[in-house]
Amino acid sequence: MKDRKRQLLRGAAIDPRPLEGQESVVDLIDNAFHAYNAGRLREACRLFVERMLADDATVGMSLTGAMTPAGLGMSTVVPLMQAGFVDWVVSTGANLYHDAHFALGYSTHRGTPFANDVDLREHGVVRIYDIFVDYGVLLRTDEFIRRVSQNEEFQRSMSSAEYHYLLGGYLREREEKLGIGHKSLLSVAREYAVPVYTSSPGDSSIGMNVAELALEGFDLRYDVSADVNETAAIVLDAKRDGGASGVLMIGGGSPKNFVLQTEPQIQEVLGIDERGHDYYVQITDARVDTGGLSGATPGEAVSWGKVDPDQVANAVVCYLDCTVGLPLLAAYALAKHKPREPKRLYERREEMMGHLVAAYREASAFRDARLKGSALPGVGE
């Protein structure tokens, strides 16, 4: 009984030093974030720094909603990419579309959620909660996307990562001409060969402009099957030869599921022996009991094969606003961990796909041999 009690109370005593007002982000999180979602954020920061940023770990980030108009692309995602802390990305198209504004020299502005939206509409201002954007910025960004997407290198079927890699090159050229430094996560992803996917290519202004070009007879098409298989290949490659796969999910939604579904694609669909992601960090304000957590808890993810059941201890969900949690986690990581050598996964897509196809064929041959002579229920009847 006493041994069990000591075991239950083995956690560090909560005994923080009084704040002095001179603390760094690391000092603040390590000293004052002990319980509730502050405690979860401290755990997430340490898991990210101490486990997920190991040299043999590959980090996939999902980015939901519209974080870039709030400046989080420039303030957090770009530095994480430059430090080698993010190896591949799945994002909403909205994040990537609004990211392009900054590379083109345009801006978003602090506003108020209590504005009169009829007044905004009359004066050509669009609102993203408390962010105001000149409607003309949207039109000029649309024009840029349509113009570059008409170029010859775009006129084929391609994964969304290929499209964003090409677009990122044009955005980087524009940044250099304007002399404005690194404003766009897509231009930085191009420079560091970080593949950037979108789980719903048509669900954004980028996809809308690509659809308009289809009406004009251009041949650009998104290959969504390539996205599914390429992301699965990234994860399978990460796990081979003793490596690890970690996922950093900012919000939920389709990008979160797309990052996580790589494991069911490998295991359930392709029949390749795998166990799930090793590290899992999510920052979200969604609730699980309403079905709104977008892929649910790490425990539920285990039941789908998305998370390795032996690694649930390496899974943390922070229930707080992403615009608060992500900058804190990024600042903590950048202060505590030296930069990693970029994995440049975009340049290895063909190699990784080759490994995936080989593993799939091997698994298929084994499955066919095992099922030979036995019919599946309802098949061939």
Cβ(189)–Cβ(343) under 8 Å?
A: no
3-state helix, strand, coil in the chain (%, to 5): 55, 15, 35
Q: In what order do the strands lie in the sheet with 57-63?
A: 196-198, 88-91, 57-63, 244-250, 279-284, 315-319
Cβ(62)–Cβ(250) under 8 Å?
A: yes
CA distance 89 to 231: 9
CA distance 259 to 250: 11
173 CB-contact burial (10 Å; exposed 0-12 / middle 13-18 / buried 19+): middle
CA distances from residue 62 to 104, 162, 177, 254 in whole angstroms, order as listed: 24, 18, 30, 9
Query: What phi, psi does 76 have (nearest 5°)?
Result: -125, -50
> How does DSSP assign 21-58, residue by residue?
S---HHHHHHHH--SHHHHHHHHHHHHIIIIITSTTEE
CA distance 320 to 318: 6
CA distances from residue 36 to 42, 179, 319, 324 in whole angstroms, order as listed: 10, 44, 9, 15
Within 10 angstroms of residue 352's Cβ, the number of other Cβ atoms is: 22
Catalytic residue among 306, 338, 343, 372: 306
Query: What phi, psi does 278 have (nearest 5°)?
Result: -90, -35
306 is catalytic: yes
CA distance 169 to 276: 34
Residues tagged active-site: 306
